[in-house]
């Protein structure tokens, strides 16, 4: 069973706890995890890209010159794709990028991502997450004490700790999320998960 140290706000070990094997100790399913990442990234795409094709641009109602005898190449419209100001061909049109994944696969992907982080020793557990003031400098001090200031950190909090998101929003390497909103894309796009022992229990309740 995987064990992890519980630290205080100074980065000193307080005790040691065991991680739930059913959540942090499974064999990661790479294929399902990959599909979940693609799904998450696709859901961020609006799909509103659009350019005008030949039938949508203004003008070009008549043939610019007669078919033969001018010395020019034959042309049917000044709004054909080879003309400046003409329509576009093969360019993006609005579409839906969303994909589907069943509930069991989504859960398996999340467990796989958490288990990978645990296997890599990239889960840092604190007694509590509290700041003297909701200031960016306080978050920076905490990360420095934990030796995480040079890493991308996913901070998992509960509803009572959401004020940390305000203090950390100016830090480009910190992402704050609630325990019941944790997702695969946030986990794999950061280096370390930082949370509390209490929030680990809450994650267990959500995923059980």
Q: Where are the domains of the chain?
A: 3-28+101-207, 46-96
pLDDT tens for 131-188 read: 888 889 999 999 999 999 899 999 999 888 888 888 888 899 999 999 999 999 999 9
Residues 6+ apart with CB under 8 A from 108: 29, 32
Task: Quote the pTM value.
Answer: 0.81
pLDDT in the model for residue 68: 95
> Span 3-28+101-207: which CATH code?
3.40.1370.10
pLDDT in the model for residue 132: 82
| Residue 192 phi, psi dihedral angles, 5° rounding | -135, 145
Residue 1, pLDDT above cutoff 80: no
Residue whose C-alpha is closest to residue 26's, from 106, 122, 124, 110: 110
């Amino acid at each position: 069973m995987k064990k992890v140290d519980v630290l205080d706000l100074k980065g000193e070990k307080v005790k040691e706890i065991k991680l739930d094997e059913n959540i942090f100790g499974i064999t990661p399913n790479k294929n399902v995890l990959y599909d979940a990442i693609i799904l998450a990234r696709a859901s961020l795409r609006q799909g509103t890209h659009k350019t005008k094709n030949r039938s949508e641009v203004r003008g070009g109602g008549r043939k610019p010159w007669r078919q033969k005898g001018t010395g020019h190449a034959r042309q049917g419209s000044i709004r054909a794709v080879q003309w400046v100001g003409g329509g576009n061909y093969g360019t993006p049109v609005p579409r839906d990028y969303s994909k589907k994944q069943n509930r069991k696969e989504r859960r398996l992907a999340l467990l796989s991502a958490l288990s990978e982080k645990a296997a890599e020793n990239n889960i840092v557990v604190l007694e509590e997450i509290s700041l003297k003031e909701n200031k960016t400098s306080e978050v920076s001090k905490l990360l420095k004490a934990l030796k995480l200031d040079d890493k991308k950190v996913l901070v998992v909090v509960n509803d009572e700790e959401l004020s940390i998101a305000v203090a950390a929003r100016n830090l480009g390497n910190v992402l704050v999320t609630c325990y019941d909103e944790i997702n695969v894309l946030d986990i794999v796009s950061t280096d370390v998960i930082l949370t509390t022992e209490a929030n680990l229990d809450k994650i267990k309740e959500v995923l059980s």
